[in-house]
Amino acid sequence: MDTFTLNPSASTAPEISVDSEVASISDSDSSDEISLANKSSCENLRFRPSHHHLSLPELKRSASVSSLSSYASTSPGTPTRNNKTSLLTEENLLALGESGALAHNWYSCGGGSIHADGRWFKDEQGRTCMLRGVNLCGNSKLPTKPDGSSHLIEGFFDHRNVSFVGRPFPLEDVHEHFSRLRTWGLTFVRLLVPWEALEHAGPGIYDEEFIDYLINVINEMPRYGIKCFIDPHQDCWSRFSGGSGAPGWTFEVAGLNLEEFKATGAAYVHNTHHSPGEPPLPMVWPTNYTKLASSTMFTLFWGGDVFAPETKYEGINVKDFLQEKYINCYKYLAKRIQHLDAVMGFELMNEPHPGYIGLSNLLQYDAGATLVFGDSPNALQSFALGAGIPQEIEVWVRSWPFPTRKQTTRIVNTECKSAWINNQCIWQQHGVWGIDTNTLKPKVLIKDYFMKHPKTGDKLNFYKDFYLPFVNKYSEAIQSVRSDYYVFVEPLPNEPPPKWTPEDHHKNLIYAPHWYDLKSLFTKTFDGMITHDVQRLTRGAQHIVSATYFGISGAKKNYFGQVRNIIKDGLKNVGNKPCVIGECGIPMDINDKKAFETGDYTHHSNFLDAVLGAMEKNLVNFTLWNYNPLNDNIHGDHWYGEDFSIYSPPPFKTCMPTTPPASVTSINVTNEATVSILNNGSPSKLKSRVKGTLKIQTFQNSSSKDQTDQIFQDASEEENPLSSEIYVECENTMDQMSPTSPTSPFDLNPWQLEQDQEESHHAGGRVLDAVLRPYAAKIAGIPHTMIFNLKTKEFTFKFTNYPASQRIENADALIVAPETEIYIPSYHYKKLNLDIRVSDGDWRYVKSRQTLYWRVKDWMTEGVEHTIRIRGTENTATVLSETSGSIECTDINKKDIMKIDERPVNTKWILGAILILIVAILPFNMYWWLLPGMWRTDNIELNNVTFIVD
């Protein structure tokens, strides 16, 4: 029996015995692919890879792997280095992968505890955790009663009598959606809980029914390996000012009449500005940030005591009242859910906005820094309109080569309506503007009112004077409930975060910014020819040519650089803390929704692959925007025409058993069992019936919820359900869908679904080829490189050993490395043979768990790098090189791993480049595709762009 030393550099290391026998895997293990341990010593004491894919008929593993792994001592109790007793002995050491853990299950990592350690999350075994998941979800912005879809108006203004019970989805659909997210490897959830959902009835009156419902939903997450954090989501302050978030009564606190926002131009609200059936103007909702209602509310929330000291409610300044209610609301929710292990913490606020604070020109918004689109009053005109004074305002439309241009003007508020309950504008009251006695027109009285303290004259900084003090108060309140709660913070969108000082709150703080391709977001287009670095333009680039990239490779380089800058800014200004990209994704209705008609989602795949590739190469945690069970091809995510969901329910939602024909044996199937297989089972109006023979999985005693829960408790040990054939009639939800448009290229009719539950989860998935990607979830070291090539299905991952200062407690007493766990989606690899090669160590791939387990050999020597490369091939032949009775693979070639596909230059891309060069002489600020009022210019020196021609 051959031996080798665990760590050649350690003279006291014991000799480890490796069993040279190999044993065949039984039929019950046919889902595993397991490496064979090298039985011989290697030159220069380096452990050479001895692992190669074996096709299933030849699948074997070493007896040592099936028992204690190749690193376990054959002598129980043998002391390890430094003569410490091993924490893992022959009696308690599990074989590789025998824990049954899923890579993406966050409760199989030593109790489910995840903590921050510097810039990384780590589990209780000291492994680095890479978290990825979804926002759950877009429809949570909207109440269920009355139906809050933004195009509907019935009951809209009765803002106190609403309910969000049923968001993000009905309780009976929890298993369907959570098991789908588990199958997709997306088990980190940003859970949207708008302020309105909790406190809509009035200040201090909490919706206990909704909180109870929310607890029931969150309580199910551990069964599916899901962790979450609470997102107090808002857009443009509230649904009533053209977004989502705050309760309607907050406007009453400020003295605003929300029913007059349309007449006074105080907000663009979908359901009050468009006729039924008419789609909203794309990307108009962000312009609300510059309009009276939203800007006023944010200004009062952050700085009402400074800018509107005379505006009070119940005897206290409006700022203090609003902040107190906001903080107390989420503190109360924290108390109610503090017993739930799934919740990691609370976000501060989604995409905060300063309102008027910092606005230097009340007569004009900078078109190079603000989205000027649609009705575009300046700040003074907004004040006047709200006070009942008609104004002739500019109307801007889309254009090229400029994003928007002024088209015309129109007079607004001809009825002289007031947006104020008492007909008194608080900004006029505080002397910001008034009426010129000569012209009888409104005029600015204090042009820099929102830039300095009105009393002291001191220059103000939004972050230092308003944002960070609120971060401190909010964080202390949340962590007073549970000290281990994390607080997720983000700056103003597309801005670097402020500099955290030692006096600011640092405890359990997570940097959680957002990132999108803003040009594609605004235009809803992507063809892979040209992309632009909007981030660079907003930070001082002089010409668009300096921020232009060509081809798919160029897009990948562009996106990688933007995400890299976000992470660097966070580490520099917030500190050495983990980063979570709270939102990223793509619009699914790009290119005039052509893919909905043709089924060709090539541009979507290329687009999303570039986005997610940037996340992976930057080794950052992220949550996709979004997973929305309410999505359809007509109304998208049912909020202002947005359509980002990676899931859209397939047309065939509910199939009920009917009397079978004589040729089919009748069986008894409960409705619950049928619904559990065919998506969510929500009832819908019958439009058409489709008959067919359908294999449905049913469960004995399926009426028992407890037994059904037990069946699905662990993905690795699901019981095989009984299968039978019945004759069904299916209700079709085409009334919610475009009659000629597929939901996605992955839709499957119920009778097309395989009995494999995993296949049924893919029905309704959108752009799954780009969404479902292998990733290292739990890593026994520091991640270094993670790359997935969507076209070749090749995945490469590298990590390095921890430095001695970061080594886990008692690491010297462990005789084997903790397992690195990698999620391997069967969606891509189920029908492929895997060629798995590692630089060192043992691996085991369990297909049914979609998990690859990997233990490296030398995990103690500081700085040692380990590499794994996974390739899928349709070739069933496996080439093996046998040396001295062992099965070896060739060394991994670094150049081969990092090789980038190069394709010939396409003529149309060259022509596009020429066009860009022609218009590049124009000033950069005319080229703008930005969201409203969110951006400011910082003089940050950046390197020149490199053009990439595909």
> Annotated active-site positions, please?
351, 583
430-436 LR contacts (CB < 8 Å, sep 24+): 430/307, 430/308, 430/309, 430/310, 430/454, 432/362, 432/383, 433/362, 433/380, 433/383, 433/384
Q: How many CB atoms lie within 10 A of CB 144?
A: 18
147-155 LR contacts (CB < 8 Å, sep 24+): 148/239, 149/635, 149/638, 149/639, 150/239, 150/270, 150/271, 150/280, 150/638, 150/639, 150/640, 151/270, 151/271, 151/274, 151/276, 151/280, 151/635, 151/638, 152/271, 153/271, 153/272
Q: Any idea which residue has 């595993």 for tokens? A: 32
Cβ contacts of 782 within 8 Å, gap of 6 or more:
120, 128, 799, 800, 801, 802, 806
For residues 236 and 449, give the distance between their C-alpha atoms in angstroms, rounded to a whole number.
22
Distances (CA, A) of 462 to 347, 354, 470, 891, 916: 19, 7, 11, 55, 36
Q: How many CB atoms lie within 10 A of CB 119?
A: 18
CB 632 within 8 A of CB 743: yes
Nearest to 206 by CA among 289, 326, 101: 326
DSSP letters spanning 429-485: HTTSEEE-TTT--EEES-TTTTTB-TTT--B--HIIIIIHHHHHHHHHHHHHH-TT-
Per-position b or e across 297-313, b if 16+ CB within 10 A of its CB: bbbbbbbbbbbbeebbb
φ, ψ dihedrals at 378, nearest 5°: -80, 180
Cβ contacts of 825 within 8 Å, gap of 6 or more:
184, 185, 772, 773, 774, 850
For residues 114 and 187, give the distance between their C-alpha atoms in angstroms, rounded to a whole number.
13
Pairing of β 652-657 and β 722-732: antiparallel
Q: How many Cα atoms within 13 Å fall on the side-chain side of residue 615?
A: 32
The end-to-end CA distance of the chain, in Å, is: 54
DSSP letters spanning 538-552: HTT-SSGGGGEEEHH
For residues 669 and 696, give the distance between their C-alpha atoms in angstroms, rounded to a whole number.
9
Inter-axis angle of helices 468-481 and 318-337, nearest 10? 30
For residues 757 and 531, give the distance between their C-alpha atoms in angstroms, rounded to a whole number.
39
> Is residue 143 reached through a cis peptide bond, with omega within 30 degrees of 0 on the bond before it?
no
Cβ contacts of 177 within 8 Å, gap of 6 or more:
168, 169, 627, 629, 680
| Helix/strand/coil for 729 | strand
For residues 770 and 616, give the distance between their C-alpha atoms in angstroms, rounded to a whole number.
12
CB 311 within 8 A of CB 300: yes
For residues 605 and 597, give the distance between their C-alpha atoms in angstroms, rounded to a whole number.
16
Task: Give the tokens for residue 490.
Answer: 């983000």
Task: Give the tokens for residue 26.
Answer: 């039984």
Amino acid at residue number 356: Y
Task: Give the tokens for residue 826.
Answer: 């069967």
What does the DSSP 8-state code read for residue 420? B
